[in-house]
A and B are shown apart, each in its own frame.
Chain A
Amino acid sequence: MSIETEIERLQTSKAAIKTAIEEKDVIVGDGTIDTYAEKIGEIESGDYNQGYEDGKNSVTDWLYYASEISFANVELPENINPIFRFKKAPHTLNGCFNKTNLKEIKLIIEDNSNTTDLSQFIRDSTIIETLDLTELNPKFRGISYMALNCTNLKSILGALDFSECTACTIWLNGCGKLQDVSFVPNTIKISISFLSSPLLTDESIQSIIDGLADLTDSDTQTLTLHATVGAKLTDEQKATITAKNWTLAY
């Protein structure tokens, strides 16, 4: 081959490399071939390119900005403890992990300027043991059926703020192994039930009582406890409950 032919081949290759780089959204411009290694290094990894919002380039970006998402009935890899992080509060996470096969879920929502809905969030998930809500910053509007039939659920981590919650229908029914749950004091304003949970710790029981808002000037609401838990309450605890204008059933 002649030198001229070799130069022509190199120029063709250079143009092809430039085109390939620019197809990965990196501008090469008129730089010499000496800059190409640096340009290749600027190419972002990840194959996902159809984000929930334009311009997002990976599955994690998509989750980060999502307003509604569901992993219901999705078989996720076993023996992992995933963290699901959202930047903004999704409008609803209703049924997000319905029937999940995960043992532990940590949900992080960074922004607290909006509320979200956790209805049916982990409903019918019989494997899950721990729901970590310690970094759930926004308040939730609804939590009905959230953990219905989660027969192995032992711990809900993070103090739940019920101040914006208007519905919690049978949210923990079927949770016979639940031990740990806690609340932001004086935030529960609607009837709430722990009917299925005989194993609540003393700390959890006291947190529930402390979580009840004072309804002295409002309609009476009902706190329902499992018979075993109700029988453990002291007269002082019962008096505290009724003094806040709550009815206790067990």
Chain B
Amino acid sequence: MKTETIKQIILTADEGMYLTNGETYGKTVVLPESADQSAWYEITEQEYEKIIAEQAG
């Protein structure tokens, strides 16, 4: 039998906010243990919607 323990870091955005690393977006972010969670920060839903609209061009 093989047993693996995989540790994760789970970030959840506050109400009315989105998480971003400047490139992509989500309400929830699941990171591998070794990843740099400081790359992720919150923006408001209005900011998120504006960015998505701009991308749609």
Contact = CB atoms under 8 A, between A and B. Distances in A.
A170 B6 contact: no
Interface string B1-30: 000101010000000000101011111111
Interface in A214-250: 220, 222, 224, 227, 230, 238-239, 241-243, 245-250
Interface string A128-168: 00000000000000000000110000000000000000000
A197 interface: no
A195 interface: yes
A14 B44 CA distance: 85
Contacts, number: 66
A191 B35 contact: no
A248 B29 CA distance: 6
B25 A249 contact: yes
A148 B57 CA distance: 10
Interface of A: 148-149, 170, 173-174, 191, 193, 195, 220, 222, 224, 227, 230, 238-239, 241-243, 245-250
Given A224-B24, A242-B33, 6 more contacts: A174-B56, A220-B35, A224-B26, A249-B26, A249-B28, A249-B30
